Structure 1
Amino acid sequence: MTIEDWPAYEQLMRSERSRFMGGPTPKYVTWGIFSHDIAHWTLFGHGALMIDDKTTDKTVGQVGLNHGPLFPETELGWFLYDGFEGHGYALEAALRMRQWGFEEFGLKTLVSYIDQKNERSCKLAERMGAVIDPDAPCLDPDDLVYRHPAP
């Protein structure tokens, strides 16, 4: 992530499109979330990466591993900017980030916290082989916890 990613990120988080990620959020909250995504690399050795289309070099979304006091377990999360769904970007990026988390970073478990109304993300988690873990801790009662299979 770079400062060049900020305008599109801010636009997403201030829009109705961010409703499954705690949004829409005011600018100062959005900046805190953006900074949080970057700070993970320093604090935990992992964090968020922007997803770029390989042919156009256009940023289409984000994938990341979230951890720390806001997350009961390490989370694999993703989002796409408007107009980029249905092209396989999120699936490819999330599968690769999950593989990296398990194989290269050494995670033993990985979950995705997904708002139960976010049907697209629920279906993506299921396509990845993740299953709902009703016993997993979760901070948001509207979220489902999808547990990803370890390799």
Structure 2
Amino acid sequence: MNHSIPTLRTERLTLRPLAMADFPAYRDFMASPRSTGVGGPYDLPSTWGVFCHDLANWHFFGHGALMIDLGETGECIGQIGINHGPLFPEKELGWLLYEGHEGRGYAAEAAVALRDWAFETLNLPTLVSYVSPQNRKSAAVAERIGGTLDPLAPRSDPEDLVYRYHQVKTA
């Protein structure tokens, strides 16, 4: 399969394909305690594997991760993605922000853009976000963008909260 990777723009952000130049900041985030919400901290080989996985999803499934850049400066501030495959029971909308960029609405803005792209382009009826109960900031983002708790949804980690987003069809 050969799927093109989109670039999406919002009022303040550019969501774009991963590039090798993104790896150092990504590596630093994944090695830090801040990465516990995405299964970390990770060592270098594991971080490289996750980075490659995030890109490979585009080839296998037609969706994957995009880096989040500030539109005004071009600074890369994190990542947004739709995960799938053997690690995820359903297509999952996930995000991470680098230190110093939380609390400004960037995660929600990026998540809405990628969620809406997925609903329109992939014609998905739903998406989910798997959130650790300790990660209140991500739970708040999921709720802010319309996610509702789905206690019956399948999950790899039985402790995770599952927020479900439904595609809203307009007439």
- The interval holding the TM-score normalised by the smaller chain is over 0.9
Counterpart CA distance in 1 for 2:21 and 2:160 is 31
1:94-144 per-residue CA deviation (whole Å, 9 max, x = no partner) reads 001000111111112100001110000000100111011000000012311
The aligned runs of 1:97-108 (5 Å cut-off) are 97-108=114-125
Number of corresponding residues = 151
8 Å CA contact retained: 2:125, 2:166: no
Partner of 2:110 in structure 1?
A: 93
Aligned match for 1:117, one of 106, 116, 134: 134
Residue 63 of structure 2 is aligned to residue 46 of structure 1: yes
SS in 2 for 1:137: coil
Distance 2:47 2:157 in 1: 19
- Alpha-carbon deviations, 1:27-50, whole Å to 9, x = none? 111110000000011111111000
The Cα shift of 1:87 comes to 1.6
Query: Which residue is 1:73 aligned to?
Result: 90
> Matched residues in 1 for 2:143 and 2:47: separation?
29
SS of equivalent to 2:56:
helix
| 1:2 pairs with one of 12, 19, 27 | 19
1:134 to 2:134 alignment: no
Equivalence for 2:44? 27
Runs of 4 or more, structure 1, over 3 Å off, are: none
Q: Does 1:146 align with 2:163?
A: yes
Q: Which structure shows the bigger proportion of residues in helix conformation?
A: 1
Specify every segment of 5 or more residues in structure 1 that has no aligned partner in the other structure, as ranges: none
State the AA in 1 paired with 2:127: L
Q: Percent identity?
A: 54
Q: Work out the CA distance in 2 between the residues paired with 1:129 and 1:92.
A: 12
Q: Gaps (5+ residues) in structure 2?
A: 1-17
Secondary structure of the corresponding residue to residue 71 of structure 2: coil
| SS of 2:36 mapped into structure 1 | helix
- How far apart are the structure 1 equivalents of 2:159 and 2:28? 24
30-39 or 136-145: which moved more? 136-145
Counterpart position of 1:58: 75
Query: Secondary structure of 2:155's match?
Result: coil
Q: Tell me the amino acid that sits aligned with residue 79 of structure 1.
A: L
Give the TM-score normalised by structure 2.
Answer: 0.86
Q: CA–CA distance in 1 between the matches of 2:37 and 2:104?
A: 20
TM-score by length of 1: 0.98
